[in-house]
Structure 1
Amino acid sequence: MPENDIDIYLQPPVDELKQLWDRVEMYDANKKSTFKMFAALMWIISDFSGLENLSGWNMHSGGKSKDNMKTRKDLQYMGIRSELWPRDGGKYPSTVFTMSNAQKDIFLKTLQHVIFPDGYSSNIMRCVDLRQPMVHLIVHLVEEVKTSGPVHYRWMYPVERYLGRLKKYVRNRAQVEGSITEGYLSEEILTFCSRYLDDIETRMNRPMRVDDQPSGVIPDACETMFPKIGKAVGVATHFKLSQMEQHQAHRHVLANCEAVSEFIDSFRQKNKENATRSNKVAIKIDSIVHKEFVQWFKQEVPIESTEYSNEIKCLECRPRLQARRYRAYNVNGYKFRTMAKDEGMKFQNSGVYVSSNTRSYASMRDQKVAIGSVPYYGKIVDIIELNYNCRFSVVLFKCIWADTTTTRGIKQDHLGLTSVNFSRSIHTGDREDDEPYILASEAHLVYYVDDEVDKEWSDCSCEATRLV
């Protein structure tokens, strides 16, 4: 290995690349003529050991650093990064990624305690060593991604993983290439044949990592109103809803049912007409709709009526008090678990995010409504399935919600990172007016990282990708 003398070995390819950039004359065998060719090196594939030698990165600090006076003088000689040039008196300014020992401890403790969703990342806490921080390496990764683009174009890891797969084909060490060729062809043939097999599980039709396809769905007219979405994981347990829980869950179902929206509009319009005569403000009308619509809907749609469909009359009857409870549920490509199920596990799947269209007013006497999307961040407490007289069922998540309506419950830093405070939760379900439930179909997965400085706050990320 050339080690620190890598510059000498790289000089010839650098000279050739410069020559290619300045145009070289090439011969086209097809056209039997010459042409001028431009070429540029866009990506390289290397492992970290080689990358450390090539770039001067310090993977294990051990109290040493490549950021010294000689490096700063090199920057000055090349005429780049003037903000890092040496100053008078033999001193030079700190780089943007410089951390104090206390900051390093906070950063590494955050990494050590972070818990990602299932399948989102490996157990990163095993890779953190508080005694040998790799801070110099980590701070470069973000800049490298921004500059160079996707990792798979320039890292050796995907290639090494595939080479490891090819090595498994070797059965005869005396004929390595032949073994790999035969193994590869056999796998290609089996994969091709499996495309024509429908009744058995193959690579082409096996379930995804998160299997959210509903099973045992029986076609029914009512399914058009609330189609079966998602798939329960584990055994269901039966329990009895309290009157308040039944009312809160049923109210959310009605408010998010498209077939009921015209009834809500009608009830709102009637209250607007009454408000004009009694001088009620618009914000009070929304409160009346929230509190009284369920009872009005029951009176508006009598069970013996022939004017409305059976599906609407099913909703009028409210769900049964006997309900099902699950500890995990797959939906929208995500795996969700309750907080109790998450406790003690190395993965976090109880975080939930939903964006809700909320009606707001400039003041108590403002008659003009503004409808805007408000983000809500929560944690799943319970997963229940309501039974509407055995005609159809609806799965809901019961959550505790951070107060995202005020700066005491949500904030955003200059980098756009959102933090929430669960010590100021809302809609806990203790009051009848609370709204702790959401439909399972509304949920998006989010994970939280505890703030090591301010323990009440948690940084949240909604970028938890769907797992396939």
Structure 2
Amino acid sequence: MHIEKNVCDNLIGTMLNLEGKTKDNLKARLDLKDMGIRQELHPKEQPNDKYFIPPACYTMSTPEKDLFLTVLKNMKVPDGYASNISRCVNLKERKLTNLKSHDGHILMQDIFPLALRSSTQKQVLAIVTQLSSFFKALCSKVLDPKELDQLESNVALTLCHMEKIFPPGFFTIMVHLLIHLAAEAKLGGPVHYRWMYPIERYLVRLKEYVRNRAYPEGSIAEGYIADECLTFCSRYLEGVETAFNRPQRNYDIIHNAEEYKFSSGGRFVGKAESTVIHHKLLAQAHRYVLLHSDLISEYRRYRS
């Protein structure tokens, strides 16, 4: 999970050209000049002792940044699928900050291949799509050893394509570790049983138990015992909302005062609008209910 997060940060910082986070800076361009490769990206010295850095294919222009960040800002996902990624988008400064590890997981696997379609060049999009497919296959619930062999060869080819486009400074140790993830999955099995998401969530819960920072171990032990006692006692309370009878966050009560042919839970979002149904459509709906509704099945035998 941390490798995925660091690769995501490298991509975001480099493509958006974020100060302090981009891997494409003057030093990276001077490295290209020293190695004698990609002459079109070499920095050009100006008369005022400054350098002009030519734009690269992986760096977004201002309209492309606005388009990409607007997609992330207006994105709607199912409840519980991801956190509110729009809170990390700063359209004014064209930044994407304060991303959590799971945000990077969702961005890399599902969102980047779609959000970058109109915001970057084809060769860069192809690399991002290959990385997305690699992480998604690696994080699947069922792993086939033959597919892992194919993933191991594919990620090596993907890294070769990345080396042709991105500067050498982009390839931190976390990016190089991609080549070993498929072999690690062969030895350790599916990643769901090995990653740190549940452990870090539990560590946050333990930190909440700490009241006296001078004695964190004792605070955690006392808080855990108190939580267990309250949980045990709550099983014998009636008429009190506890962790066992608490309704869901999006709990919608279905009122049975009226019967609906197509009943479903939920509530309206936004302002309600009235619609006038055509007489023919109303007659068809009325006839369908009369012929198919179970509520009036016993009255159908009286029809002529």
Question: Could you state the TM-score of these two structures normalised by the residue count of structure 2?
Answer: 0.43
Quick check: which one's strand share is greater?
1
Quick check: which one's helix share is greater?
2
Question: Could you state the TM-score of these two structures normalised by the residue count of structure 1?
Answer: 0.31
